[in-house]
Copies of this chain bind each other. A is one copy, B any other.
Amino acid sequence: MTNREAGPSRQPPAPELVDAGFAFEVAEAPLLHRPLGLADLAHVLALREAGIVPADPARRLLGVLLDAYEQPAEEFPYDPQVGEIYNCREQHFVERLGDDAGWLHAGRPRREAVRVALRLLLRRQVAELLADVAAFVHAVSDQATRHAETLLPDQTYLQHAQPSTFGHYILHFAYPALRSGERLAGLLGWINESPGGAGCVHGSRLDISRERLAEMLGFDGVIAHTRDAMWQTDGFVDLVSTATTLVENLSRLAEDLEIWDSQEFDFVALAGPYTRASVLMPQKRNPYSLGVVRGSAGLLIGRLTGLLAVGKTPSARSDALIFLYGETPRALDVATRATRLMRGVIATLGVNTERMAAALLDGFSQATDLAEYVMQECRIDYRTAYHVVGDTVRRASRDGLRGVDITAGMLDDAAKERLGHGLGLSDDGLAEVLDPEAIVRSRTVDGGAAPETVRGMADRCARAADRIAEEARQAAGSYNRAENALVDAAERVSRG
């Protein structure tokens, strides 16, 4: 038995606590104001339906809540001196309504209200982000179709690898985006479950229907276990992790384009509206958009880490959740802006097809095809063919020749040194093997660079994006309907 003093302190909060705690939480008010309004409306309606709040105070309380809901967050008296967001609302309602405002808190801790509100916020954000992901995939897919025959020296380690096309290249960014989109769409199911009606953490003696609450708020169902409903963080981490991989994919594309937009590469040029001038250097046209996307990826890596580090606590400690109230929606916002920006960059990108083709012709990226040809024509193992071609290429490069300049004679010279005899190939046969366009046409394997293959994939990507966009549209529509119906119901009751 202890004689610690129980119950709320009667002293005002310390100024340091106001600064470090309440002010920190109140900064999320613009994000949570409207969803909290919806959570409050549903809670009071549920209390009313269950007969817990008498009719008159319920009516008056709903009236005040509706006023608050309509009020812009900036005008609502959120003030850290009063406490965090919920305290500010509480005090405002008491000021307007007196004791009747006290019914709001029946059977519900502050945390339940905010958990509910957070999910109402996030489901909209995710639906919006999905639409942007779909739009990005469309922009990529359009460019891929347009450039299905635009030759490009594909690179690994930024070294010429093999002749490919810009269409095949650009399209490969659609796939991670689609996967991120599908994961986000899958997470909508997780988000859109109701933590409502959980009592403290294990139910309440009051007879509030969790199903009814969920229904009024447009949730698909109820989170099964009440303590889990209040304290889980894994889905939030998933959400931010998926947003981070989404933007990391964009960042890779951005970094590629930044390199290709250099004077030396000159493969692409960003449209003017996506660049920024220098204040000092009159000749500059900086690809500022790409830096923003790349920086956003780094920022999100940190946000995800922070969420996980904050979440490394014992169970049922508020810090894990308090800190994710703002971090999670803001991370999604960063992802949305970056995705939207990258869509614009791609949709308007200038592609320098001559320069790409010329760069390809300057190099030796046909060497693999040549070695494979040697292997097949001369029935020698690949490793040997590789060495013969490697020697040929090394010598040609020293002599200032290019891949297309390689002759049967040059191969013979190299083969004699390696094998003791020539290969007996003809220059005519080589011409086809060394022709980049022919090489690209040969890539008809599933997922390969042949123009028809790329166009087919681009089309399938576009249709997958359509499905994601449609899913997002339907989700957003159902949220709208539910929220409008909730406000309508509250208005009906409040008007008596």
Contact = CB atoms under 8 A, between A and B. Distances in A.
A209 B394 CA distance: 32
Interface stretch (A8-16, A28-36, A476-484): A8-16
A227 interface: yes
Given A1-B400, A288-B318, A14 B309 contact: no
A173 to B, nearest CB: 8
Interface in A356-379: 359, 362-365, 367-373, 375-376, 379
A301 B84 CA distance: 24
Given A24-B292, A203-B450, A341-B21, A172 B308 contact: no
Given A180-B234, A273-B13, A397-B5, A252 B383 contact: no
A428 interface: no
Number of identical protomers: 4
17 contacts: A1-B402, A10-B272, A14-B289, A17-B344, A20-B338, A110-B279, A157-B284, A161-B201, A174-B225, A197-B446, A204-B443, A226-B446, A244-B308, A282-B368, A298-B306, A298-B319, A302-B304
B394 A199 contact: no
Contacts of A385: 102
Given A258-B158, A363-B263, A381-B103, A295 B308 contact: no
Nearest to A388: B282
A65 interface: no
Contact of A285 (B6, B288, B307): B6
Nearest to A251: B312
A172 B457 CA distance: 44
Nearest to A177: B234
B176 A228 contact: yes
A274 to B, nearest CB: 6
A273 B57 CA distance: 33
A203 B162 CA distance: 10
A200 interface: yes
Interface stretch (A67-75, A163-171, A485-493): A163-171
B340 A272 contact: no
Contact of A296 (B20, B171, B190, B201): B20
Nearest to A107: B372
Contact of A298 (B176, B200, B309, B315): B309
Which range holds the interface residue count of chain A?
A: 35 or more
Given A3-B397, A283-B367, A443 B21 contact: no
Contact of A245 (B54, B238, B359): B238
A404 to B, nearest CB: 11
Interface stretch (A93-101, A123-131, A465-473): A93-101
Contacts of A87: 279
Contact of A337 (B19, B276, B305): B19
A181 B99 CA distance: 48
Given A180-B234, A202-B162, A298-B310, A273 B14 contact: yes
A134 to B, nearest CB: 15
A14 B6 CA distance: 42
